[in-house]
Amino acid sequence: MDLIFEKSRPGRRAGRVPEYGLPVPEVPEELRRATPPRLPEVAESEIVRHVTALADRTFGVDTGFYPLGSCTMKHNPRVNERVGRLAGFRDLHPLQEDDGAQGALELEWRLQQILAEVAGLPAVTMQPAAGSQGELTGLMLVRAYFDERGEGDRRDTVVTADTAHGTNPASVTMAGYRLEKVETDARGNLDLADLRAKVDERTAALMLTNPSTLGLFDEGIEEVARIFHDAGALLYYDGANLNAVVGRSRPGDMGFDIVHFNLHKTFSQPHGGGGPGAGPVAVRADIEPFLPSPQVVREGDRFRLDHERPKSIGRVRGFSGPFGVFVRSYAFIRAYGPALREMSDAAVLNANYVLAKLRDVYELPYDRLCMHEFVLSARNLKREHGITALDVAKRLMDYGIHPPTIYFPLVVPEALMIEPTETEPKERLDDFVEAMRRIAEEAAESPELLREAPHRRPVRRLDEVRAAKHLVVRYLFDEHPALVEAE
Ligand SMILES: Cc1ncc(COP(=O)(O)O)c(C=O)c1O
């Protein structure tokens, strides 16, 4: 497909507006451009076709089934967008005085209250813009908490699981902590013996997602909490997998002291490809004074941003957080109302349904009921036919299905991490099951078909390392991409 710059012809325009003879503001000489911007010159019809062709080549949750494990690619109800576009929310300036933004502040405050209830912890900051930023914020809170107790220098270690998402160790390192990894036992829980050996007076916190990235609820979580609290350390809950437990079990009740939410996953948001997201953080009462500033507070029937927070770790993002995300998540939650737990119930049911239908053709490394997602292994296909998890993923694209997450978590070889979400009807789950079963047959009958897949997508197998390391996102004019390619 040609790039828009390759379609450009000098002098072509999408449209022209009449000149009105209004005064043209004078731009000071030193600020004027020396040359016109290098924009593509294209007719409107060509722009529309170009953008439509690009959209056709893209796969999203609105295109088809998208069981990308750990990412919770659920349907985004359109009512969320409608509410987000209400002029009072959409056109509000972030510097608007509190008195002129009462509705927005009330929404933010109400969302805080709901999240506190879901987490089972009393105080919430809405500032972080992603789960990963929630993690970093949480660890900054851990540091502030121990600094005040005079233990900041001694407690320099944060423990994570060997199944942890990559952002966990990254956040630990960014926050200046030493990383200690704990192994997973044969049932897919944290290995308590390994854990006990690694928790001591240097431990500041545990960072854990429960259910884990294996889609398994940790059966020893109360004991885990006891071990950390007995050592004077804190427990941080990575809430990326919260879709499994909302209304059923609360991280605060499991013993966690700090929790982040991925609003863009659990409470729906068009995400993937970088945003928009939100990673609010809930904390127990004695950590509340350290929360980022400002906080939305209620005084009688008025709401305001509280900037007077002397112990606060400061700001982690501009203003009070990614507000458009709050509106959509609030709309999503209110649409469920008190039935919110049905969201998680359906997510867990869907995952177990698919698991039950696939467990005889792919290996199941941890043979237990799963939560909202599960991890299979294509190890048997590799052993018997030389077919890898990557081949399975690529072939799924030919069936019009987005591949699951693969090769993660790292503890499962040839991992296929599948998260159907609650918004898929039974027919779509059945389509997926059928495609996965058919692929297992193809692995035996015609392995070449899989090795060369996808066959029916606009692009075939990409050199993904090269694509990631030499990402060309701008037109290079004189150095045309084709030249870079030829290097
Ligand atoms: C288990 C887990 N933790 C943390 C994160 C980080 O969340 P975010 O992508 O919002 O930064 C993810 C994201 O996929 C995740 O799956």
Residues constituting the chain: 487
**Closest among 209, 73, 60 to 131, alpha carbons compared:** 209
Atom 7 (ligand 1): residue with closest C-alpha?
131
pLDDT level of residue 421 (50, 70, 90 thresholds): very high
Cβ of residue 155 lying under 6 Å from some atom of ligand 1? no
Q: Which two tokens stand for residue 306?
A: 């509280």
pLDDT of residue 455: 97
User: Does the pLDDT at position 480 exceed 60?
Assistant: no
Ligand 1: nearest atom to the Cα of 130: 10
Better pLDDT: 86 or 24: 86
Better pLDDT: 273 or 334: 334
Ligand 1: nearest atom to the Cα of 238: 3
pLDDT tens for each residue of 157-194: 999 999 999 999 999 999 999 999 999 999 999 999 99
Atom 16 (ligand 1): residue with closest C-alpha?
70
- State the distance from the centre of ligand 1 to the C-alpha of 55, rounded, in angstroms: 26
- State the distance from the centre of ligand 1 to the C-alpha of 172, rounded, in angstroms: 14
pLDDT of residue 487: 44
Cβ of residue 167 lying under 6 Å from some atom of ligand 1? yes
Give the Cβ contact number of residue 367 at 10 Å.
Answer: 9
**Largest alpha-carbon pair distance within the chain?**
80
- State the distance from the centre of ligand 1 to the C-alpha of 204, rounded, in angstroms: 21
- State the distance from the centre of ligand 1 to the C-alpha of 213, rounded, in angstroms: 10
HSE value, Cβ hemisphere, 13 Å, CA-based, for 334: 13
Which three-class secondary structure state does DSSP give residue 187? coil
* CB of 346 closer than 8 Å to CB of 248: no
Cα–Cα distance for residue pair 55/64, rounded to 1 Å: 14
- State the distance from the centre of ligand 1 to the C-alpha of 440, rounded, in angstroms: 30
pLDDT tens for each residue of 181-237: 999 999 999 999 999 999 999 999 999 999 999 999 999 999 999 999 999 999 999
User: Does the pLDDT at position 273 exceed 80?
Assistant: no
pLDDT of residue 385: 98
Point out the least confidently predicted range of 41-55, 119-133, 229-243, 462-476. Answer: 462-476
- State the distance from the centre of ligand 1 to the C-alpha of 176, rounded, in angstroms: 20
Mean per-residue pLDDT, 267-272:
90
Atom 12 (ligand 1): residue with closest C-alpha?
240
Query: What is this structure's pTM?
Result: 0.93
**Per-residue three-class SS string for 227-269:** HHHHCCCEEEEEECCHHHCCCCCCHHHHCCCEEEECHHHHCCC
- State the distance from the centre of ligand 1 to the C-alpha of 274, rounded, in angstroms: 11
pLDDT tens for each residue of 357-408: 999 999 999 999 999 999 999 999 999 999 999 999 999 999 999 999 999 9
- State the distance from the centre of ligand 1 to the C-alpha of 68, rounded, in angstroms: 12
Q: Which two tokens stand for residue 464?
A: 């993904």
Atom 15 (ligand 1): residue with closest C-alpha?
240
DSSP β-bridge partners for residue 181:
160
Cβ of residue 279 lying under 6 Å from some atom of ligand 1? yes
Mean per-residue pLDDT, 455-460:
91
pLDDT of residue 106: 98
Pairing of strands 203-208, 157-161: parallel
User: Does the pLDDT at position 479 exceed 70?
Assistant: no
Cβ of residue 240 lying under 6 Å from some atom of ligand 1? yes
- State the distance from the centre of ligand 1 to the C-alpha of 46, rounded, in angstroms: 38
pLDDT tens for each residue of 305-358: 999 999 999 999 988 889 999 999 999 999 999 999 999 999 999 999 999 999
Residue of 71, 132, 373 to test ligand 1 pocket, by largest number of atoms within 8 Å of CB: 132
Point out the least confidently predicted range of 51-55, 456-460, 479-483. Answer: 479-483
pLDDT tens for each residue of 95-116: 999 999 999 999 999 999 999 9
User: Does the pLDDT at position 145 exceed 80?
Assistant: yes
423's CB contacts (< 8 A; 6+ apart) are: 74, 75
Cα–Cα distance for residue pair 308/449, rounded to 1 Å: 64
**Phi, psi at 457, each rounded to 5°:** -110, 160
pLDDT tens for each residue of 71-84: 999 999 999 999 99
Percent of the chain at pLDDT > 90 equals 88
- State the distance from the centre of ligand 1 to the C-alpha of 132, rounded, in angstroms: 6
pLDDT of residue 24: 87
Percent of the chain at pLDDT > 70 equals 98
Cα–Cα distance for residue pair 427/58, rounded to 1 Å: 23
Residue of 167, 209, 245 to test ligand 1 pocket, by largest number of atoms within 8 Å of CB: 167
User: Does the pLDDT at position 25 exceed 50?
Assistant: yes
pLDDT of residue 274: 64
User: Does the pLDDT at position 143 exceed 50?
Assistant: yes
Cβ of residue 238 lying under 6 Å from some atom of ligand 1? yes
User: Does the pLDDT at position 486 exceed 50?
Assistant: no
Atom 10 (ligand 1): residue with closest C-alpha?
131
Point out the least confidently predicted range of 323-332, 339-348, 425-434, 471-480. Answer: 471-480
DSSP β-bridge partners for residue 239:
261
Cβ of residue 213 lying under 6 Å from some atom of ligand 1? yes
Cβ of residue 144 lying under 6 Å from some atom of ligand 1? no
Ligand 1: nearest atom to the Cα of 70: 16
- State the distance from the centre of ligand 1 to the C-alpha of 173, rounded, in angstroms: 16
- State the distance from the centre of ligand 1 to the C-alpha of 368, rounded, in angstroms: 24
Q: What is the residue-averaged pLDDT of the chain? A: 95
Q: DSSP alpha helices (H): ranges in 261-388?
A: 263-266, 323-336, 341-358, 379-385
Mean per-residue pLDDT, 437-441:
98
Cα–Cα distance for residue pair 472/246, rounded to 1 Å: 41
